[in-house]
Amino acid sequence: MAALAVCLWTGLAHAQATTFTLDEETGWIAGEPPEPGTDAALMADSRRFIAEGRPSLARSRLRRWIREHRNTDNPYLPTAYLLLGDADSAMGNEYRALFSYEALIGKFPESPEYVIAIQRELEIATRYARGMRRKGFIPLRIFDSGPTAQELLVLVQQRLPGSEAAERAAIELADFYYRTRQMKLAAEMYEILRINFPDSRFRKRALQRQVLANLTQFKGPKYDATPLKEAALLIEEFRDRYPIEADEVGLNESLLARIDESAAAQMLDTARYYLRTGDPISARFTLRRLVRNHPRSGAATRAREILTEQGWSTRPAQGGEGAD
């Protein structure tokens, strides 16, 4: 029988909690309320206090109880840590709540509360990654929460690999890097997401942003053109998978042509550097490869002119010299 335990609270501050179990066939079945004065009753009361908007009362009772039972094998310790974190979050101090969630995760990985605590941390990390600042030693949100968000989003993926939570953590971390202009990290994280979750509902967004992150990394013809090559391959993949969307977002032949021109310009600049530094063999190799790989570019036209001026064959290299 699949069942879900829930509590129905009365509106009175000191009323007992009655436990109900949801049965798929018969509906809600009333259970016995926890015995007053027991650990189960304290946990039930703490849940009620949080639900009623009195988390500080729950927090004080839970802290006292945890101090008394911290070094025991009491089965309610995972629940107590989870509720203490929930109480802190309800009081607007989610950063402090992380300490309780981490205690639970570190000490009770086999408990049912383990996954719940990680999900709580994911929600906090998501808010931090999207710009919410955290409180510190003063009750004002003035502290940068970016490092905490990054750490938590990585931990979620490590602790629950392959899960929906890990998938969400991956896209949130990639988007965080993208928003904060850390494009190399963004491109890498989108790639990790696509590898770990090939059927992800975020795949299209990840692929598009991975293209843009790679393009942004290219700083000009004097710099490494590897990001351009990566972007071109990703554009082809995007066009194959999402042909209509590719035209709508500009991942089309026009962009590929601009990438081709930029990559060719980078090779031409490299060839000129070799000529200036007295390395004609490398210059000839690079010019011929430019003509072969980017024959329709403006840089290829100039490369042919330089080859002619130097008395070198303008024939694109085939194998051997000039071959990739």
pLDDT tens string 140-154: 888 899 999 999 999
State the residue for tokens 């409180």.
Answer: 135
Residue 69 backbone dihedrals phi, psi, to 5 degrees: -120, 5
Q: Identify which of 120, 146, 122, 119 has the alpha carbon closest to the alpha carbon of residue 133.
A: 146
State the residue for tokens 């509590």.
Answer: 7
Alpha carbon distance 242, 250 (integer Å): 12
Tell me: pLDDT of 19 over 90: no
Q: How far is CA 37 from CA 33, 34, 45, 274, in A?
A: 12, 9, 10, 84
> What are the helix (H) ranges across 70-163?
77-90, 94-107, 113-129, 146-159
Q: Is residue 21 part of a domain?
A: yes
Q: Is residue 208 part of a domain?
A: no
Q: Identify which of 261, 258, 253, 256 has the alpha carbon closest to the alpha carbon of residue 303.
A: 261
Domain that holds residue 7: 1-32
> In this structure, are 41 and 52 located in the same domain?
yes
Domain end (from 98, 125, 152): 125
**Token pair recorded at residue 289:** 């490869």
How many Å separate Cα 268 from the centre of its chain?
Answer: 38
State the residue for tokens 């082809």.
Answer: 236
**Token pair recorded at residue 228:** 């351009």
The DSSP bridge partners found for residue 117 are none
> In this structure, are 16 and 58 located in the same domain?
no
Structural domains counted in the chain: 2
Alpha carbon distance 228, 293 (integer Å): 14
Helix axes 203-217, 183-196, angle to 10 degrees: 150
> In this structure, are 27 and 85 located in the same domain?
no
Q: Answer for the pair 202, 232: CB distance below 8 angstroms, yes or no.
A: no
> In this structure, are 43 and 107 located in the same domain?
yes
> In this structure, are 97 and 85 located in the same domain?
yes
pLDDT tens digit sequence for 161-204? 999 999 999 999 999 999 999 999 999 999 999 999 999 999 99
Q: Answer for the pair 280, 271: CB distance below 8 angstroms, yes or no.
A: no
Q: Is residue 213 part of a domain?
A: no
> In this structure, are 104 and 40 located in the same domain?
yes
Q: Is residue 104 part of a domain?
A: yes
Q: What's the pTM value of the predicted model, to 2 decimals?
A: 0.81
Alpha carbon distance 189, 168 (integer Å): 12
> In this structure, are 19 and 58 located in the same domain?
no
Domain end (from 125, 159, 187): 125
Domain end (from 125, 156, 180): 125
pLDDT tens digit sequence for 23-34? 556 554 556 788
Q: Is residue 173 part of a domain?
A: no
Alpha carbon distance 122, 197 (integer Å): 18
**Token pair recorded at residue 103:** 């205690």
pLDDT tens digit sequence for 259-315? 999 999 999 999 999 999 999 999 999 999 999 999 999 999 999 999 999 999 877
> In this structure, are 56 and 121 located in the same domain?
yes
Residue 121 backbone dihedrals phi, psi, to 5 degrees: -65, -35
- Percent residues over pLDDT 90 in the chain: 79
We report the CATH number of the domain holding residue 69 as 1.25.40.10
> In this structure, are 67 and 95 located in the same domain?
yes
Q: Is residue 291 part of a domain?
A: no
State the residue for tokens 């970016």.
Answer: 146
Residues 6 or more apart in contact with residue 239 via CB below 8 angstroms: 246, 251, 252
Q: Is residue 261 part of a domain?
A: no
> In this structure, are 38 and 107 located in the same domain?
yes
